[in-house]
Amino acid sequence: MTPAATPVDERAAVTEALARLPRVADLLAARAEEHDRDGTFPYQGVEAVHEAGLLTLTVARRHGGAGAGLADTVRALVELGRGDASVAVLAAHTLLLHAEQARTGLWPAAAYRRVLTESRRGPALLGTLRSEPAGPPATVAHWDGEGWELTGRKSDCSGAEALAWMAVPARTDEAVPRVGLFLVRGDSPGLEIDPVWDQLGLRASAGHDVVLDKVRVAPELAVRLTPPGRETPEQRAAADTARAWHDLALAAVHLGTARAAQDWLVRFLGQRTPANLTEPLATLPRYRTALGEIEAGLIGAEEVLGAVAAAVDRGESGAAGARSAAAQLLAGRAAAAAVQQAVALSGTPGLSRRHPLERFLRDILSSRMHFPPDETVLDVIAGTALERGGPRRAG
């Protein structure tokens, strides 16, 4: 009889994959400038992440995967973001869909087996296409008697040109419309990529538009079809958890980029000796204090992000709500402040394209597209605080 698995055995695959992170991050960093400058897709970087077992880190153990939770995913994405934010964003979206399958069984069994088979053969990137110029979801699903036909346009679709599968939110054109996800192969007839992505940062993430013209979807690949506003409490809870995973995972990429900027700044301050000094800038109190501020901010953000991610893994009440929103907000602010301060401290060299710091700044600025506006997040947090406080009597 096979001995029962111990907690150490269960985490072995996760531990082994995470141990490969430093090497993978170095490989990504070596090619990041080239892909950023040319706006080319980082196929080799994605392959490196896949070969290290990191692209499928969140595949459930019941499907033969490592079964990583959110806390481990956050740790992995911080390191990948340290190497190349564009590749880390692509990995994040794939990890999010595998994690959702592990939690909820989003994909029909046969379709997910196909996804896993493709993942064993090579990188199988996944993505949820949410953004639309006309607001979600303008994409329409029409039932033709045998299956669904999708028509619409999705914008800012990370990895669009290389996605193996896309989860496409759409509304039906029924008398009483329903909204759901339609699982679409990336090579489906009627699906085209409009190569419009030319952003300031995350230039290698290929966030092109996806145009769907009567793309056929089998009935079983339309999931969670529900009239708007008719979601069950369980569905709303699942959506809150999915949002927490998304926000904390993408915030981790943000923090990784900030750590890369700090690494560069440390080297710069240690090597830079102006003509009027005899010692490097790193010996001056002003620079040491500023570097300490950056380090303190990033440590605080990492601790908050890790703690809330672990709370989500434990299913703690409220973790997949205001706490996750606050952690994302704090991490994003700390990351942006760190990179901007690094640029200010380095002066002209930090803005030169000869150095990666200006790329880190552009990536940080462009990463804002993955999160709701700060005022929206703060409104959610305020609502929770008001509910907790409850009505109070005057006097």
Here the tokens at position 335 are 């990351």
Q: How far apart are CA 74 and CA 65, in angstroms?
A: 17
Enumerate the β-bridge partners of residue 165: 126, 185
**The pLDDT of residue 10:** 78
Please determine, for residue 3, whether its predicted confidence score (pLDDT) is greater than 80. Answer: no
Please determine, for residue 107, whether its predicted confidence score (pLDDT) is greater than 50. Answer: yes
pLDDT digit string, tens, across residues 346-360: 999 999 999 999 999
DSSP state of 367: G
- Tell which residue, 147, 280, 153, 127, has the closest CA to residue 210: 153
Instruction: Return the SS3 of 179.
Output: strand
DSSP-derived pairing of the beta strands 125-128 and 163-172: parallel
* Sole residue written with tokens 């793309």: 215
**The pLDDT of residue 55:** 98
Compute the mean pLDDT over every residue in the chain, rounded to the nearest whole number. 93
Q: How far apart are CA 203 and CA 34, in angstroms?
A: 10
Mean predicted confidence (pLDDT) in 14-38: 97
Mean predicted confidence (pLDDT) in 247-266: 98
DSSP state of 156: E
Please determine, for residue 51, whether its predicted confidence score (pLDDT) is greater than 90. Answer: yes
Mean predicted confidence (pLDDT) in 105-122: 96
* Sole residue written with tokens 């997040």: 377
Helix-, strand-, coil-residue percentages of the chain, each rounded to 5? 60, 15, 30
**The pLDDT of residue 131:** 75
Here the tokens at position 7 are 């907690």
**The pLDDT of residue 229:** 75
Q: At a CB cut-off of 8 Å and minimum separation 6, what does 158 contact?
A: 89, 90, 93, 127, 205, 206, 207
**The pLDDT of residue 12:** 93
pLDDT digit string, tens, across residues 163-218: 999 999 999 999 999 999 999 999 999 999 999 999 999 999 999 999 999 999 99
Phi, psi for 178 (deg, rounded to 5): -120, 155
Q: CA distances (Å), 161 to each of 105, 152, 191, 204, 283, in order? A: 26, 17, 11, 11, 48
Please report, to the nearest 10 degrees, the dihedral formed by the alpha carbons of residues 12, 14, 16, 18 taken in order.
Answer: -150
Beta strands, E only, the chain:
125-128, 140-143, 148-157, 163-172, 179-185, 191-194, 208-217, 222-226
**Amino acid identity of 331?**
A
- Choice among 219-223, 290-294, 369-373 with the minimum mean pLDDT: 369-373
Here the tokens at position 142 are 């029409």
- Tell which residue, 200, 172, 168, has the closest CA to residue 184: 168
**The pLDDT of residue 390:** 65
Q: How far apart are CA 210 and CA 158, in angstroms?
A: 10
Walk me through the domains of the chain, giving residue ranges and CATH numbers: 7-125 (1.10.540.10), 140-226 (2.40.110.10), 233-389 (1.20.140.10)
**The pLDDT of residue 85:** 98
Cis peptide before 285 (omega within 30 of 0): no
The residue that leads in pLDDT, 305 or 390, is 305
- Tell which residue, 104, 120, 12, has the closest CA to residue 66: 12
**The pLDDT of residue 133:** 58
273 contacts 281 by C-beta, under 8 angstroms: yes
256 contacts 85 by C-beta, under 8 angstroms: yes
pLDDT digit string, tens, across residues 302-318: 999 999 999 999 999 88
